[in-house]
Structure 1
Amino acid sequence: MTQLRSVLAVQPGQPASDGAGVRLTRVIGGGGLERFDPFLMLDEFGSDNPDDYIAGFPPHPHRGFETITYMLEGRMRHEDHLGNVGLLQSGGVQWMTAAHGVIHSEMPEQQEGVMRGFQLWLNLPAKDKLGAPGYRDFSPWEIPRLQRADGVEVVVIAGRFDDGQHQQDGAVQRQHTEPQLFDLRLPAASAIAPRLPQGHRLMLYVYEGELEVNGHKVGKSRLVRLADDGELQLSSMAGAKVLLIAGKPLGEPIVQYGPFVMNSHEEIEQALRDYRDGVLAA
């Protein structure tokens, strides 16, 4: 008999503000980060009111983790101290490895219209937290998409999608955390059963429609946290769009102070000193 992954929690995101006043929904973030290891934060932003996003995210630092920004609608420009400049547009992905340190800005390239997407923070193992930073923009056509005959579409951002009949490698692979990041788009009266590594942390965020997860109905703007072992069965009668987020837990201490995520308070204090002394991103 198939053992399904137990649903551990279903929770709504919380209204928040970040950057220079960008309004968003914080889905993951704050206390108890070990429950989501190796993931640290998930923000959803989405508004057609420029006042909610126009101030953007002026220059700010990061150390110790990676950021993944997935744009559903809109245009955002990235610039950093390394000289990288990128335009993130509808359907595109920005993958930045802060590691030792990055100072960057993310500013809207539009004065009106909808800006909508997600930013996910992915932890780095202790041995890589002070490594070399990196940055990569992926245009929409560089992100693999799998289209099934029944109308189910899978945008495979990271990892490898496999439902037993269809396989597709994503745009990004990571050895230590093995992240799986898929945008699942289920039409009405469809179902899908992604195969995921046992022992990996698994979460689903329903950003449109209603989803049935291993027998549990989950509405829009809800995060589902599941057990680390077992199978996954998803279906939707009315249609749904879902972010699937899974990864291998690092099992290391997590100490966060704002944009710095390290393994000890001493390392956080060092990051603050480095930023103050202008060598965080040196």
Structure 2
Amino acid sequence: MPASTAAKSSRSIVKSILSLEQAEGVGAHVRRSIGRPELRNHDPFLMLDEFNVDKSGGFPDHPHRGFETVTYILEGHLQHEDSAGHKGIVGPGDLHWMTAGRGIAHSEMPVKSQTRVRGLHIWINLPKEHKMCEPQYQELLDKEISRATPQEGVMIKVIAGESHGIKSKVYTRTPTMYLDFKMDKNKTVEQSIPASYTGFIYILKGTAYIGDKEFEGKAHHTLTFSEDGAETIKIQTKEEDAHFVVIAGEPLKEPIVQHGPFVMNTQEEIFKTFVDYQNGQNGFERARDWHSTIA
């Protein structure tokens, strides 16, 4: 196929997974797709949850090593605190992007006045050379996240990466794009995506039609893209508006050995991580005996 023709074709959908609800944390419920047996991981992505937490629940003190956690709030206000000294509150449309690196413990709990907090959690793997980096924290409020408006009735929040000439402020050690789309009914948009990226769409509301064959995606489904080198995703709405995220990244193509909140490349590194955490060393000096004030 000539390069000019290939560039115009859209990625297609190869798998659709309904995110089933399960208990997580303390009194919290999540709809998980990536991270379940049907889609154990989607390199470089390790987990995707749509979470719902009431004021009596949350995600109290827990450690991490070897990857990044991304929390994007859709409804309500969430408190967060970690062993590296970061603390704050994020609300609707806000983002916090935490690079766990060599070791961190953190807690995420609803503000007590909230009846419910809803959002998305994503775990993104780190390449081998960054797994033991120092922890880093990035936070963007809704008003600080740039928007692209390629046409009337289509609004794209550029959380990470780039869309229609608008670039995000977020630094990603694993090259990643994270876009929040809101589309009115009867609209069509094309989104560029690097040829080497893997990716997916997660539908939050309504129905979207993806690709040249117009694969129908409905709420709470994760739709994974073909890996055919096409550099465009075509997305349409018809009888109703839609709200969804497009997330894609450069696959690391490295071994993944995961044990709960620790993700490394070998079983020996996982064993060493447990020893480090138990002894409060090699990055866990502040994490082992740390307790948040919000949990």
Normalising by structure 2, report the TM-score: 0.88
Question: How has the CA–CA distance of structure 1 residues 260 and 35 changed in structure 2, closer, same or farther, with 3 Å as cutoff?
Answer: closer
Q: Over residues 62-91 of structure 1, what are the superposed CA-to-partner deviations in whole Å (9 max), with x where a residue is unaligned? A: 000001100011111111111111111111
2:24 aligned partner: 18
How far, CA to CA, are the matches of 1:180 and 1:27 in structure 2? 19
Offset at 1:278? Answer: 2.1
1:111 Cα offset (Å): 3.6
Amino acid of the residue matched to residue 114 of structure 1?
A: R
Query: Paired residues, what number?
Result: 273
- What does 1:143-182 correspond to in 2, within 5 Å? 143-162=145-164, 167-175=165-173, 177-182=174-179
Contact kept? 1:150, 1:190, Cα under 8 Å: no
Contact 2:187 / 2:236 at 8 angstroms: preserved in 1? Answer: yes
Distance 2:139 2:235 in 1: 30
Letter in 1 for 2:177: Q
Q: Which residue of 1 aligns with 2:220?
A: 221
Q: Secondary structure of the residue that 2:57 maps to in structure 1?
A: coil
Change (3 A) 1:247 1:156: same
Counterpart-to-counterpart distance in 1, 2:131 and 2:246: 25
Superposed CA RMSD in Å reads: 1.6
Match 1:205 to one of 180, 197, 202: 202
1:108-147 to 2 correspondence within 5 Å? 108-147=110-149
- The percent of aligned pairs where both chains have the same amino acid is 35
Residue 33 of structure 1: how far off its partner (Å): 6.2
Question: Given that residues 86 and 137 in structure 1 are in contact (C-alpha distance below 8 angstroms), is that contact kept between their aligned partners in structure 2?
Answer: no
Amino acid at match of 1:87: I
- Separation in 2, partners of 1:110, 1:43: 22
8 Å CA contact 2:77, 2:114 repeated in 1: no
Cα distance, 1:112–1:87 mapped onto 2, change above 3 Å: closer
Per-residue Cα deviation, 1:202-221 (whole angstroms, up to 9, x for no partner):
10001100000111111111
Residues 97-132 of structure 1, C-alpha deviations (whole Å, 9 max, x = no match): 000000111111134433111011111000110111
Deviation by residue 1:131-168 (Cα, 9 ceiling, x = unmatched): 11111221111111123442100010001113xxxx10
Tell me if structure 1 keeps the 8 A contact 2:41–2:47.
Answer: no
Q: Which residue matches 1:239? A: 241
- The corresponding residue for 1:79 is 81
Task: Give the C-alpha shift of residue 31 in structure 1.
Answer: 4.4
After superposition, the C-alpha distances for 1:4-60 in whole angstroms (9 at most, x for unaligned) are 32321011012122211311111211447675101110110136xx3xx53211111
Structure 2: gaps of 5 or more residues: 286-295
After TM superposition, list the pairs within 5 Å mapping 1:47-86 onto structure 2. 50=54, 54-86=56-88
In the alignment, residue 25 of structure 1 is paired with which amino acid?
R
Who is 2:293 aligned against?
none
With over 3 angstroms needed to count, the CA separation of the structure-2 counterparts of 1:98 and 1:6, relative to structure 1, is same
Structure 1 residue runs without a partner (length 5+): none
Cα deviation 1:187-230 (Å, max 9, x = unaligned): 11111100110021010001100000111111111111111221
Label 1:13 to 1:32 Cα distance change in 2 as closer, same or farther (>3 A).
Answer: closer
Q: For residues 60 and 35 of structure 1, what CA distance do their matches in structure 2 show? A: 21
Closer, same or farther: CA 108–40 of 1 in aligned 2, 3 Å: same
The answer to whether the 8 A contact 2:68-2:97 is kept is: yes
